[in-house]
Amino acid sequence: MRVALVQQLGGIGSVELGELPDPTPAAGQAVVRVRGAGVGPWDVAMISGAYGAPALPLIPGFEVAGVVESVGDGVDVQPGERVYANLGIAGGGLRAMRWRRRITWRARPTGWAWRRRRGWWSAPGPPMKG
């Protein structure tokens, strides 16, 4: 899968395209094919070192929307569902596929085109069109 990868802190210029193996979900995980990921000032601050020194390499992207590809046991979403999530400070949304434990994948509102995700703000709750 393609990823936006930061190997060393240094601002937006330190982001490069890379490749990682496609993920396989374990129990409690969902693999989501990312269709859109939010990039905001917090991502730039993270890759600039403003929040300290995160573990590297780092994949930025706090917010993500996509389609569930596969799930492990004990997950409350199903393959084919359109979902979104706020990944928080851990980020990792700027990749072709995403898997995570301990986050809530929420159903994406029906009738909204993927390219209209711009302007969502998903602080500690559901996103709002803005």
pLDDT digits (tens, 9 = 90+) for 11-58: 889 999 998 888 888 888 888 888 888 888 888 888 998 988 888 988
φ, ψ for residue 93 (rounded to 5)? -80, -20
Average pLDDT of the residues of the chain: 78
CA dihedral 44, 50, 54, 57 (to 10 degrees): 40
Q: According to the model, what pLDDT value does residue 111 have?
A: 65
φ, ψ for residue 48 (rounded to 5)? -95, -10
Task: Assess contact for 34 and 82: CB atoms under 8 A.
Answer: no
pLDDT at residue 102 greater than cutoff 60: no
Which helix (H) or strand (E) is 71 found in, with range?
strand 63-71
Tokens describing residue 36:
């859109």
Q: According to the model, what pLDDT value does residue 100 have?
A: 56
Which helix (H) or strand (E) is 128 found in, with range?
strand 128-129
Give this prediction's pTM.
0.72
Q: Where are the alpha helices (DSSP H) in the chain?
A: 41-48
Domains and CATH numbers, the chain: 2-110 (3.90.180.10)
Q: Which residue has the higher pLDDT, 43 or 97?
A: 43
